[in-house]
Amino acid sequence: MTIPGLLPELEVIRKDFPILERTVAGGQPLVYLDSANTSQKPQCVIDSMVDHLERHNANISRAMHALGAEATEAFEGARDRVAAFVKAPSRDEVVFTKNASEALNLVANTLAWAKGPLAVGEGDEIVITEMEHHSNIVPWQLLAERTGATLRWFGLTDDGRLDLSGVDDLITERTKVVSLTWVSNMLGTINPVADIAARAREVGALVVVDASQAAPQLPVDVVASGADFVAFTGHKVVGPTGIGVLWGRREVLEALPPFLGGGEMIATVSMERSTWAGIPHKFEAGTPPIVEAVGLGAAVDYLDAVGMEAIHAHEQAITGYALEGLLSVPGLTVLGPQDAASRGGAVAFELAGVHPHDVAQVLDTRGIAVRAGHHCAKPAHARFGVQSSTRMSSYLYTTPAEIDALVEGLHYTRSYFKVG
């Protein structure tokens, strides 16, 4: 099938991902539609990690021998590649964490401990949105509780977009932080990050962006976004689990206190006091995820080679095809925008008369992997009056045939449960 926008080398790309050759559910081909949860890994990422463990394994920045030097070069080389991937002005602005959740917690906690203009305290306001992943809600709730600040949020329109009608009343001179998702992991909505950041700058607020769903499928330019911090996670950008990224503006990172204490994040230590290393190492206490960083470097190289503009076009094309197919299923309701141009590849939906967990289990018997639950977005589900949903999510390796299998599987599910 020819769909404008699909990656022309789609079948070649699929061969890069060995897991896609698997059969499941008694010999049926795997149809993997859970990439918003975690993406699959190309062979080059797997090989880079195996090679590092087999030939270059050592701790970094400590061992005065060849393996230590090789490991350090590989780790710091990955930082260079990630900085280029997000168009960071400086490699020193890229901090490695264990995931996006830790990156967001790093920002929220250090703002609680900060002195001077960055300090968050009583009378200040923190603005988030109703569509956030829990990782971008809970840290700010904790910051508000610990400092006496007030938490406020953007509501959602009926079609799953941010309600920006009162933006000037929500982001005010009292606002200290605005933190929002770039692309919703539940609704799929792509938010106007740069526009909201511009309003935040007018009042002097810091802007934090959760790019966990954006970095896999959109070209990311951290400076153009207008953000002060951008966080994402390795396992959604065809990289390994166990590593995340926090980009921060140099002057803000330098002004913040450390997040964790330990080895490598210090300049000097005495029994009386310690001083801190420069950025980014000030925020990277202890032995870091070395081989995971190597894998992440290989992952962003892979995505760059395919081209993020081409990946974005593919995601929009395959999502448009999926929306058309899903909306042809009687009793199915898509949550969020129903035009592919306004959204990413995660599509949550309800199937009348069938619990989302039952939908996912029946699809699994046909080799189709989707997610069911609240997707760590309970407030967004509550806004639309649903406890949970089923979610399909595509990526650069998703084919129209896999979407057809999903739609056919949903028709079968309706028949299996005798609904309609």
**pLDDT at 255 (0 to 100):** 98
Q: Which fold has domain 46-305?
A: Aspartate Aminotransferase; domain 2 (3.40.640)
Residue type, 12: V
Q: Which fold has domain 10-41+307-416?
A: Aspartate Aminotransferase, domain 1 (3.90.1150)
Other C-beta atoms lying within 10 Å of the C-beta of residue 26: 8
Quick check: is 44 catalytic? Answer: no
Element (H, E) at 251: helix 250-255
Peptide bond into 280 cis (omega under 30): yes
Enumerate the domain spans of the chain: 10-41+307-416, 46-305
**CA 188/CA 159 separation, integer angstroms:** 11
**pLDDT at 341 (0 to 100):** 93
**pLDDT at 80 (0 to 100):** 98
User: The tokens 């949105």 sit on which residue?
Assistant: 129
**CA 332/CA 216 separation, integer angstroms:** 27
- Cβ(256)–Cβ(118) below 8 Å: yes
The first and second tokens of residue 271, run together, are 């029994």
- Cβ(149)–Cβ(175) below 8 Å: no
Nearest-Å Rg of the Cα atoms of the chain is 22
Own/partner pairs, 75-81, CB within 8 angstroms, 24+ separation: 75/288, 75/290, 75/293, 75/294, 77/297, 78/293, 78/294, 78/296, 78/297, 79/280, 79/293, 81/297, 81/300, 81/301
**pLDDT at 420 (0 to 100):** 75
**CA 162/CA 170 separation, integer angstroms:** 12
**pLDDT at 1 (0 to 100):** 62
**pLDDT at 379 (0 to 100):** 98
**CA 184/CA 72 separation, integer angstroms:** 35
**pLDDT at 62 (0 to 100):** 77
| DSSP string over 364-393 | HTTTEE-EEE-TT-HHHHHHTT-S-EEEEE
**Region at 265 (left for phi over 0; alpha for psi -120 to 50; beta for the rest):** alpha
Q: Is the Cα dihedral 42, 47, 48, 52 positive or negative?
A: positive
**pLDDT at 266 (0 to 100):** 96
Residue type, 199: R
pTM confidence score: 0.97
Our measurement of the distance from residue 136's CA atom to the centroid of its chain's CA atoms, rounded to an integer in Å, reads 11
**CA 80/CA 336 separation, integer angstroms:** 36
Catalytic annotation, pick one of 10, 63, 118, 376: 376
Which residues neighbour 352 within 8 Å (Cβ) at sequence distance 6 or greater? 331, 332, 333, 419, 420
User: pLDDT tens track of the chain, all 420 residues?
Assistant: 689 999 999 999 999 999 999 999 999 999 999 999 999 999 999 999 999 999 999 999 877 899 999 999 999 999 999 999 999 999 999 999 999 999 999 999 999 999 999 999 999 999 999 999 999 999 999 999 999 999 999 999 999 999 999 999 999 999 999 999 999 999 999 999 999 999 999 999 999 999 999 999 999 999 999 999 999 999 999 999 999 999 999 999 999 999 999 999 999 999 999 999 999 999 999 999 999 999 999 999 999 999 999 999 999 999 999 999 999 999 999 999 999 999 999 999 999 999 999 999 999 999 999 999 999 999 999 999 999 999 999 999 999 999 999 999 999 999 999 997
